Chains A and B, each alone.
Chain A
Amino acid sequence: MQLLSYDGAAVAVAGATRVWLAPAIDDLPCGDPLKRFVAAMCLYALDVRLELVPGPYSDQRAELYARCLLLSDRAIAAAAALSDAELAERFGVALEQARAKRGELQTEQ
């Protein structure tokens, strides 16, 4: 069982077999970048619970995992001409996550 936090706020709870989104996230409209991102973080918590990925859970690892799911390296490379804001919009993620992903790719190179 895990409480997931993002940007200083509790955003979801992951149990053994299901997750619950915090009301502030649950009330967001369909397709909202933050909602999608938190859902992907939840998946990481479940993966750790099922021992499909190494633990222990941390919000930082969950964010990294979510970025890998929602922003594939190949797709980012193909969108090199886009600004961070355009990239965020195209992939339906928050601007800070698009920036973080590009930062990670630059670090790897």
Chain B
Amino acid sequence: MSAPTQRGDETELFARHHEMLLRAVARQASAPAVVIEDACGFAWAQLLRYQPQRDKIVGWLVTVAVREAWKLSARQRAELSGELEQHDRYAHLEDAGVALEHHLAAREALRALAELPERQAHLLARQAAGFSHEEIAAETGDSWRTVDRQLGRARRKIREAGGES
């Protein structure tokens, strides 16, 4: 089933309510700022996808964001206690340094996108945009292993182009 068409008021809604949403979620969900921000981002993304009724939009956004904040917080606690795999999508939340390192690597990769075959460039762009191997594989129809191998090849090409060891 395709997503509903945008109504054209999304940018205006965001400008009007996003600060309020951050504050409301921070009050209701005891979580780090980065979790609150991601939870609110998720709520706005859900708005784009499902186009809920506008007359109750504030309550809808708060409900979706608070639930996501709880979910992310629970996941973060589980990761910290070692219950989840290290390669999970949210693993980098526990260490901002790792997130930065990951981001910088992806950023450098994108700089060389124009030099790469289209397929590898696409995979790198998806990874840089925050998608996991599993999500990329689901979109492309490839296996996790194929995605991982293609990304590895792309990174090697970029390293070689940059003269790195």
Contacts and interface: CB of A to CB of B under 8 A. Distances in A.
A22 B38 contact: no
Interface string B85-103: 0000110110000011001
Nearest to B123: A30
Given A31-B118, A42-B129, A50 B100 contact: yes
Interface residues of A, number: 38
B154 interface: no
Contact of B140 (A16, A30, A69): A30
Contact of B107 (A5, A43, A75): A43
B112 to A, nearest CB: 9
Contacts of A62: none
Interface residues of B, number: 48
Interface string B17-48: 01000100000000001110111111011001
Interface of B: 2-3, 6, 8, 10-11, 14, 18, 22, 33-35, 37-42, 44-45, 48-49, 89-90, 92-93, 99-100, 103-104, 106-107, 110-111, 113-115, 118-119, 121-122, 125-126, 128-130, 139-140
Interface of A: 1, 3, 5, 8-10, 13-24, 27, 30-31, 35-36, 39-40, 42-43, 46-47, 50, 52, 69-72, 75, 91-92
Contacts of B115: 75
B82 to A, nearest CB: 20
Contacts of B129: 19, 21, 39, 42-43
Given A15-B38, A20-B41, 19 more contacts: A9-B6, A9-B10, A10-B10, A13-B42, A15-B39, A15-B42, A16-B41, A17-B90, A18-B130, A20-B42, A21-B129, A24-B6, A30-B119, A30-B122, A31-B122, A35-B125, A39-B126, A43-B128, A69-B110
16 contacts: A1-B44, A3-B14, A3-B18, A9-B8, A9-B10, A10-B10, A13-B42, A15-B38, A16-B38, A18-B41, A22-B48, A23-B2, A35-B125, A36-B122, A40-B113, A70-B114
